[in-house]
Amino acid sequence: MAMPFLTKVLTGTARSYFAGNGSKFIFKPVSAPVSQEMESLNLYIHIPFCRNKCPYCPYNKIEYDKNLVAPYLAAMLSELRLYREAFGRFKISSIYIGGGTPTLLIDEIKAVIDKIKGTFILSGDICLETNPNDITGALVKKIKDAGIQLVSIGIQSFHDKNLCFIGRDYKAAIIDEKMRILVNAGFKSVNMDMIFALPGQDIGNLKYDLERSVNTGANQITTYPLFTFPYSTIGRYLKLKNVRMPGLKKRREMYYYINDYLNGKGFARVSVWGFKKGDAPRYSSVTRDNYVGLGAGAGSHMPDGFYLNTFSVKDYIDKCSRDEFPSALCMKFNEAMQSYFWLYWRFYDTCISKTELKRRFSPKDRGKVDGLMTLFKTLGLTEEDDEVIRFNLRGAFWIHLMQNYFSLNYINRIWAVAMKEPFPDKIAL
């Protein structure tokens, strides 16, 4: 009980100090996003249909149901039209497509992308999550025909024992061939997701996964610890089976080993989790500034706050079929909260522009931010030059812990309610 209590106390203290005592961290019911002037936005498309509902995955997902595919496509097209009517023909700087298993609906995704191109001004890359089981030459052709340039594949491990534990329904023997298909297809970037800090995992096990990952030819390798959301299947499994996760010392040893190993193979750290090789564009799902989310359970980050669509697929379809926004909740931001939201994702990037930092914060808040940066530097977590502040390896490790104990705590509290109630009364954080 010590860590949840400590997390709550520290979170409350930090929120009051930085965002002010008057800041309301409450998601309240909302019927539609507030129309506002925005020159450009990013776009997230959520496909909840899933071929294999992995127990560790916390995201909004349902089993694939072909009878819901056509209605879901119609709902997404309707939601797009509602945004066009409410916000105008804005520029879309990037599109990220996640799930679920998005490739189950690759034909429908192409229809949505075609509609976007005809309705808005698409100026950036399109990114797609993929699953090893689905990768074939025919699927890759469809992905490319849809205009998708960056792909990510959730490999997670090259050990069958690890794959079995996290509920992946394929064997490690298929991975090399699947990676050859992707790498040879001519995408701008191929990212590979890997999981570490698995129960019973040691450095030898981790080294084998990293060696195999590097040899696939992926441009980027993103390594995540096994997150354990209490409401997810893995959270219940850990509680019931009393499975022990690696402690802080082992976790730090693994994190440092990943960094040193990938650096030695020519990969540079580009985020808390990600390592990229060469000039390929960085693949990232979470560090966009303002974005609109389409689909059941998708979030939207607007200048005035954070919106959540209903997590219920059937309610999402029903709302959109009646030409209504499928919005369920909104947490309004004041100016300080908006700035700190931006800063949080720069922590994730492990790189903060001094010019942008000065521009984003008011003189009143800048003193607090400068004090925080001074503290990081004093603790030996950051290094800086005239232009940027960078978290070093030690700092990146502590940012990764902060995300695990603080950010995931927020997500858990929101999603645990939203997954049970299509339109909650409110969620207080």
Is 339 a domain residue? yes
The whole-number pLDDT of residue 359 equals 94
Do residues 291 and 42 lie in contact, with contact meaning Cβ atoms separated by under 8 Å? yes
Domain limits for position 9: 2-28+333-428
pTM for this prediction: 0.91
Number of domains present in the structure of the chain = 1
The whole-number pLDDT of residue 28 equals 96
The whole-number pLDDT of residue 19 equals 55
Is 119 a domain residue? no
- Nearest by Cα to 210 from 254, 272, 166: 254
The whole-number pLDDT of residue 312 equals 97
- For residue 305, report the phi and psi dihedrals to the nearest 5 degrees: 160, -170
Enumerate helices (H) and strands (E) in the chain, giving the number of each. Answer: 15, 20
The whole-number pLDDT of residue 38 equals 75
Is 159 a domain residue? no
The whole-number pLDDT of residue 146 equals 97
Is 227 a domain residue? no
Q: What is the CATH number of the domain that holds 18?
A: 1.10.10
Q: What string of pLDDT tens digits covers the 429 residues of the chain?
A: 344 444 454 555 555 555 555 557 799 999 999 987 777 889 999 999 997 766 666 678 899 999 999 999 999 999 999 999 998 888 999 999 999 999 999 999 999 999 999 999 999 899 999 999 999 999 999 999 999 999 999 999 999 999 988 888 899 999 999 999 999 999 999 999 999 988 889 999 999 999 999 999 999 999 988 765 554 554 555 553 555 667 788 889 999 999 999 999 999 999 999 999 999 999 876 667 789 999 999 999 988 899 999 999 999 999 999 999 999 999 998 888 889 888 988 999 999 999 999 999 988 888 999 999 999 999 999 999 999 999 999 999 999 888 766 777 777 788 888 989 999 999 887
Structure-block tokens of residue 418: 């939203």
Is 7 a domain residue? yes
Is 381 a domain residue? yes
Is 309 a domain residue? no
Query: H helices of 296-349, where?
Result: 313-321, 335-349
Cis peptide before 100 (omega within 30 of 0): yes
**DSSP label of 379:** T
The whole-number pLDDT of residue 243 equals 55
Is 346 a domain residue? yes
Q: CA angle 345-84-294, nearest 5°? A: 45
The whole-number pLDDT of residue 175 equals 97
